[in-house]
Amino acid sequence: MTNSSARLLIVGPQGSGKGTQGVRVASALRIPVVSTGDIFRANIKEGTELGQKVTAILDAGDLVPDELTSEIVRDRLSQDDAQGGFLLDGYPRNTAQVAHLDEYLSGRGVALDAVLLLDVPRPESIARLRQRALEQGRSDDTEETIARRLDIYEQETAPILEVYGQRGIVDHIDGVGSLNEVTERIAAALSARGVLATA
Ligand code: ADP
């Protein structure tokens, strides 16, 4: 699989497996993953100024302010390795962030090629997150925070799909199945768009 100019976004509820699938797809396409959750967690771990600013927000399951998040993403997307494409995971997460991203990308004369929506029913998401809490102990995988994050997803993130849907770039992917099955569904959707050349 080769393609050097794919600009992708992967969206799905918490527990949908978008992080795992995003890494797989991006490595097949040789493009970097830009995950806002990973960027924030790395900063928290390293105790940077940004990390200190966002720790309490992540632990509560709330969203980091849009301006701050968008600035971080713009900086990341401006780096050399993202010029030939990228896969966004976790950003944009509401319509204000869509507007920020649109402004940035259109200023550079580019646009997203596809938005991969991983569909997973809420009970399945909750079950997977409980399992992850047992295995990984992520500090935002508590019962209360999981419910809060899923609520925010349904209220704030799901509406971005209407915006991208109107542009005709959303691919609905059934996220229930084995990791490989889901990866194959994504690969099929991308190749139907001519984004992914299967080798
Ligand atoms: P999940 O999708 O399981 O909530 P992420 O790793 O995508 O996990 O995000 C973890 C946390 O990081 C979010 O709950 C939020 O606090 C913060 N975050 C990530 N992306 C964004 C964003 N685009 N805007 C605001 N906050 C964000």
Please report the domains of the chain, with CATH numbers, ordered by start residue. Answer: 6-191 (3.40.50.300)
Least confident of 4-13, 42-51, 95-104, 155-164: 4-13
Sheet holding 33-35, edge to edge: 33-35, 86-89, 7-11, 114-119, 170-174
Atom 12 in ligand 1: residue holding the nearest Cα: 37
Phi, psi of 26 (to 5 degrees): -65, -40
pLDDT band at 196 (very low <50, low <70, confident <90, very high): low
For residue 98, how far is its CA from the centre of ligand 1 (angstroms)? 15
Instruction: Give pLDDT tens digits for 11-42.
Output: 999 999 999 999 999 999 999 999 999 999 99
**Above 90 in pLDDT, residue 197?**
no
Ligand 1 centroid vs 199 CA: distance in angstroms? 34
% pLDDT > 90, the chain: 89
Reference 148, options 11, 3, 14, 10; nearest CA is 14
Asked if pLDDT for residue 4 goes beyond 70, the answer is no
- Across residues 38-47, what is the average pLDDT? 97
Query: How would you class 9 by CB atoms within 10 Å of its CB: exposed for 0-12, middle for 13-18, buried for 19 or more?
Result: buried
Q: Whose CA is nearest to atom 18 of ligand 1?
A: 37
Q: Which residues have CB under 6 Å of ligand 1? A: 14, 36-37, 40, 57-58, 61-64, 69, 90-91, 93, 97, 140, 149
Q: What is the pLDDT of residues 92-122, one digit of tens each?
A: 999 999 999 999 999 999 999 999 999 999 9
Q: Residue 44 is inside which H or E element, if any?
A: helix 36-46
The answer to whether 14 and 146 have CB atoms below 8 angstroms apart is yes
pTM for the structure as a whole: 0.93
